[in-house]
Chain A
């Protein structure tokens, strides 16, 4: 159980203009700007939940993760995770969490991966028999077999990321923070990583908090999203409900026999807009608040030699972009 309430964190950042003169001046007098990295952040995450934590760069995602993982001390507010205050009971707290920073490695660069794993086992004081069964399972699920005996520096990014994730699960954390776990991965590795995260969540009941810019990650993994922008929580809710609420817009694509009359040529009723039209293909936007999908289809297909018809909702990607626009972040 994670309970965060009214977290504040402000950084003072020294600012100066470009140029040598300014640099010299800055030695003596500095101008600071205050940046509210976290501005009254509150939320609650239950055990076993999978939450997508999203927001543009510099929104405060990393700062929140750092507070929750005991790296940063907030200026005010409280955060209690399974009975521990992360920055006060740091050692007790971090024994129960796993953290993956997608852009930084926790593996020792020049030695085989298995040596890093052994060292991590000792750092967390994991019992020998548990380590072996867990390692076998992780190797199996993430297909690590051969990779374990390869030095980290020779791994591909996808292989390395799978090892990173395995490394942060060696001590069986109850909560795992994943900071952009699929960044830079190819399609196959992404799918493997996602599938694995889902399994860990389902089978071990591990709470997963995921920050990412990859909307497919969000779509594939999380039911709940928390949107953060300029240090504030803008939205917190189920992804499906959010989609339903924010995307009254449907897209209808009609393919018809070439040479026959196009539905794009006829007068369109209120609620339908023509998005694009080609030979044998036309695309429309339908505002379902004003016109039902069935009425729109009925109108668009009347007396048309339809070959194919597709109705699509707004993608998560588009949803997030429209949310960013809505909140002006």
Chain B
């Protein structure tokens, strides 16, 4: 943990070397996320509700997915840029150090500019939480935190899976972005609006619904199911196959030329 803080500090110092660039990117991240939020707003000026969800409710949903995603992207960015690490031999360096590769890849890239989105998510939360009509009991607060945390870990799992596949292809698979960036965009609306087939896929294959949809319904008081409330815990199971793919990939690692 101490070492991770060291990594954080060194990345922070590095990024502070280029202050202007850092703040411009931060603001850029904030604004892109904001434009999506505006898009939802425009939608709601035409329709008062989408599949029975009100504007503040949808905003709350979007804030959850945005915050999860930006947390994952800030702290697990190393896996997102993993093809480059393999390509330039940086991964060789990681293997000659006596720490776990996963930990070192985590520490290899921490991108604080992604916190622009986090800020955006916080702003939307601040706006949506009092308006969403959710009764903020202790159980609901815990559920919301659990949703965000499980969400970041699911996105982290996707990044890890992506990195694991890179061992075989030695190059990034853009198709994976459907689930990462795509997941973020999907999460703008409660996932039931996309129909049953998509919802099922997002429950059992890529478990976005487990942290985003089912517990969200219990927050809104539309379901009393305890099972649905603890769904974020099940979402964590997704990490197991992701890690397995990473391990198998690691065994196949063949480095690049000198």
Listed in ascending order, the chain A residues whose CB lies under 8 Å from chain B are: 11, 61-62, 66, 69-73, 90-92, 94-95, 97, 99, 101, 103-104, 106, 108-111, 115-116, 118-119, 122-124, 151, 179
CB distance from B255 to the nearest CB of A (A): 6
Instruction: Verify B255–A66 contact, CB threshold 8 A.
Output: yes
Closest to B5 in A: A122
Instruction: Verify A110–B14 contact, CB threshold 8 A.
Output: yes
Chain A residues lying within 8 Å of B93, measured Cβ to Cβ, are 99, 101, 104, 106
Q: Give the CA-CA distance A301 to B56 in the complex, in Å.
A: 104
Q: A91-B99, A94-B97, A110-B17 are in contact. Are A101 and B10 (CB under 8 A)?
A: no
Q: Give the CA-CA distance A196 to B93 in the complex, in Å.
A: 23
Q: A62-B258, A103-B258, A104-B88 are in contact. Are A94 and B14 (CB under 8 A)?
A: no
Instruction: Verify A92–B98 contact, CB threshold 8 A.
Output: yes
Closest to B257 in A: A62
Chain A residues lying within 8 Å of B96, measured Cβ to Cβ, are 69-71, 94, 97, 99
Q: Would you list 30 pairs from A and B whose C-beta atoms are within 8 A, ordered by A residue?
A: A62-B258, A66-B255, A69-B95, A70-B95, A70-B96, A72-B253, A91-B98, A91-B100, A97-B96, A101-B89, A101-B92, A101-B93, A101-B258, A103-B258, A104-B89, A104-B90, A108-B10, A109-B14, A111-B13, A111-B14, A115-B13, A116-B10, A118-B6, A119-B3, A119-B10, A122-B6, A123-B98, A123-B99, A124-B97, A124-B98
Instruction: Verify B254–A11 contact, CB threshold 8 A.
Output: yes
Q: B14 contacts which of A70, A72, A108 (Cβ < 8 Å)?
A: A108
Q: A92-B98, A104-B93 are in contact. Are A122 and B254 (CB under 8 A)?
A: no
Q: Give the CA-CA distance A304 to B228 in the complex, in Å.
A: 106
CB distance from A4 to the nearest CB of B (A): 17
Q: B251 contacts which of A73, A91, A151 (Cβ < 8 Å)?
A: A73
Fill in one digit per residue for B4-26: 1 if any A CB lies within 8 Å of its CB, else 0: 00110010011101100000000
Categorize the interface residue count of chain B. Answer: 20 to 34
Closest to B16 in A: A110
Chain A residues lying within 8 Å of B257, measured Cβ to Cβ, are 62
CB distance from B258 to the nearest CB of A (A): 4
Listed in ascending order, the chain B residues whose CB lies under 8 Å from chain A are: 2-3, 6-7, 10, 13-15, 17-18, 88-90, 92-93, 95-100, 251, 253-255, 257-258
Closest to B91 in A: A71
Q: Give the CA-CA distance A70 to B94 in the complex, in Å.
A: 11
Additional A-B contacts beyond A97-B96, A101-B258 (10; CB < 8 A)? A11-B254, A62-B257, A71-B95, A91-B99, A94-B96, A108-B10, A110-B13, A110-B15, A116-B10, A119-B3
Q: Give the CA-CA distance A71 to B100 in the complex, in Å.
A: 13
Q: A70-B96, A124-B98 are in contact. Are A115 and B254 (CB under 8 A)?
A: no
Chain A residues lying within 8 Å of B97, measured Cβ to Cβ, are 94, 123-124
Q: Give the CA-CA distance A313 to B97 in the complex, in Å.
A: 44
Q: Give the CA-CA distance A327 to B98 in the complex, in Å.
A: 39
Chain B residues lying within 8 Å of A91, measured Cβ to Cβ, are 98-100
Chain B residues lying within 8 Å of A122, measured Cβ to Cβ, are 2-3, 6
Chain B residues lying within 8 Å of A123, measured Cβ to Cβ, are 3, 97-99
CB distance from B132 to the nearest CB of A (A): 42
Q: Give the CA-CA distance A108 to B107 in the complex, in Å.
A: 12
Chain A residues lying within 8 Å of B98, measured Cβ to Cβ, are 91-92, 94-95, 123-124
Q: A151 contacts which of B6, B15, B17, B92 (Cβ < 8 Å)?
A: B17
Chain B residues lying within 8 Å of A106, measured Cβ to Cβ, are 93
Chain A residues lying within 8 Å of B253, measured Cβ to Cβ, are 71-72
Closest to A73 in B: B251
Q: A71-B95, A110-B17 are in contact. Are A119 and B6 (CB under 8 A)?
A: yes
Instruction: Verify B95–A94 contact, CB threshold 8 A.
Output: yes
Instruction: Verify A71–B2 contact, CB threshold 8 A.
Output: no
Q: Give the CA-CA distance A108 to B17 in the complex, in Å.
A: 12
Q: A97-B96, A122-B2 are in contact. Are A72 and B258 (CB under 8 A)?
A: no
Closest to A168 in B: B96
Closest to A111 in B: B13
Q: Give the CA-CA distance A94 to B94 in the complex, in Å.
A: 10
Q: Give the CA-CA distance A111 to B6 in the complex, in Å.
A: 13
CB distance from A139 to the nearest CB of B (A): 20
